[in-house]
Structure 1
Amino acid sequence: MPKTFPTPKLVIFDCEGVLVDSEPASNQALADNLSRHGLPLTVEQSMAHFVGGTMTGVMQTARSLGANLPDNWIEEIYDETYALLRQGVPLVQGIPDLLARLDAQGIPVCVASNGSEEKMRTTLGQNGLWERFHPQAMFSAHSLGVAKPEPGLFLAAASHFGVQARDCLVIEDSGSGVTAAVRAGMRCLGFAPQGGGKKLAALGAEVFTNMSEVPALLSI
């Protein structure tokens, strides 16, 4: 018999790669930038190295791999990334239907991301979700000063909604996000539409590949 879970009292979404399909564009900007700074990477290699990390961590890793980055590199890469994202970023397939289903069940939702609020304004604002989440249901590592894989971002969201960690469900697509959810004591669904689910499962996530699967996983 498959394990059954109670319906969550709060669903916490990651932003990039879960709500919006922005990882390809973000990593295209990153790969192009790092290639100019002496670290040739494909988009796929960039995603393998950097998805789910903070930009400070990306900078440290890129330097360790041989990139010659200026001190103002984070400002530079944000400018280039936002410019590319403004050209258009779609919602992940199935997200509107899933959010509508959660609304119909009266289950609160929020977004918790290692990205900045400015980045989320750029991506979510194109799709009508910025107004939905900001400011009461949006938690940014830049604002709170704690980033995944530490659990503080998710715990802050739970505290804001007055929900205990065990009653929260997190939807993530990165190893750092899954680790943060597990450390917070929260059930985590790992979104792996293009593969890579074994890594997320090994970290403690229940892997799925399409947002249409989520209602059944949540028993709604």
Structure 2
Amino acid sequence: MNTPPDMVIFDCDGVLVDSEMITNRVIQENLKRHDLLLELDEIMHLFVGGTMQGVMDLSREMGATLPDDWLDHIYSEMHAVLAKEVEPVKGAVAVLDALDAAGIPYAIGSNGLHSKMAVTLPKTGLLERFTGRVFSREDVANPKPAPDVYLLAASRAGIAPDRCVVVEDSASGAKAGVAAGMTTFGFYGETPRERLEPICNAVFGDMSELPALLGM
């Protein structure tokens, strides 16, 4: 970008909090107990960027014998492990510091539940930085790849979508950013670059690269 945006909206998991491998490991172990054996890279490919309801539906199609209350159980398992293990994505705090110094507001737009972010954000020390600016697919009619959560974040801030930047690590989320009419940057920390590159305005593999992309 030639000039910095008026707002940056971050996905949460895999962008701000280093949770993807943790949650996917929990999913892998759980599905194994329910008769579905998947490698971690398969789980990343199939499920990252979606919803847990989507995980449940697809896993059942693939042969998993999941009970009707599976979502309650998997959320409980994930939250317990995240509360012990999750850390910020390397370099994410420095990016927020740079945005604060430049006076650029930021928010979270996630397909995750508020209850999950209520675990990960305090554990990583990020909760206070996003007070009042944490938006979930629970707050909108349609989850990503629909643009709803990103449009909500921009609307609450009173900032036009075309003056916002979205930072995403999944193809589904990147499609949501593009659909919202926002400049979309893809972070390929744990996502194959080739899944993001065709969708995003630019891609990057290290958070230290983001301020320059933002024109800062």
Which band: TM-score by shorter chain?
over 0.9
Query: How far is the alpha carbon of 1:18 from its aligned partner?
Result: 0.3
Unmatched segments (≥5 aa) in structure 1: none
Match of residue 149 from structure 2 = 153
Trace 1:132-143 onto structure 2 (pairs within 5 A): 132-134=129-131, 136-143=132-139
Structure 1 vs Structure 2 CA RMSD: 1.2
Unmatched segments (≥5 aa) in structure 2: none
Matched residues in 2 for 1:112 and 1:11: separation?
A: 10
Count matched residues: 216
Query: How far is the alpha carbon of 1:57 from its aligned partner?
Result: 0.9
Match of residue 94 from structure 1 = 91
Partner letter of residue 213 of structure 1? E
Query: How far is the alpha carbon of 1:140 from its aligned partner?
Result: 0.7
Q: 1:194 to 1:81 in 2, by over 3 A?
A: closer
Query: How far is the alpha carbon of 1:142 from its aligned partner?
Result: 1.8
Query: How far is the alpha carbon of 1:195 from its aligned partner?
Result: 5.3
% same residue: 45
Deviations 1:172-205 (A, max 9, x none): 0001100000111111110002451111111234
Match of residue 202 from structure 2 = 206
Match of residue 164 from structure 2 = 168
Query: How far is the alpha carbon of 1:168 from its aligned partner?
Result: 0.3
Matched residues in 1 for 2:190 and 2:89: separation?
A: 13
1:109 matches 2:114: no
Query: How far is the alpha carbon of 1:163 from its aligned partner?
Result: 0.6
Match of residue 26 from structure 1 = 23
User: Is the Cα–Cα contact under 8 Å of residues 8 and 218 in structure 1 kept in the other structure?
Assistant: yes
Deviations 1:132-161 (A, max 9, x none): 213x11101123343110001100011000
User: Is the Cα–Cα contact under 8 Å of residues 14 and 190 in structure 2 kept in the other structure?
Assistant: no
- In the superposition, the TM-score normalised over structure 2's length comes to 0.96
User: Is the Cα–Cα contact under 8 Å of residues 15 and 167 in structure 2 kept in the other structure?
Assistant: yes
Indicate which of 173, 185, 198 corresponds to 2:181: 185
Match of residue 63 from structure 2 = 66
User: Is the Cα–Cα contact under 8 Å of residues 166 and 187 in structure 1 kept in the other structure?
Assistant: yes
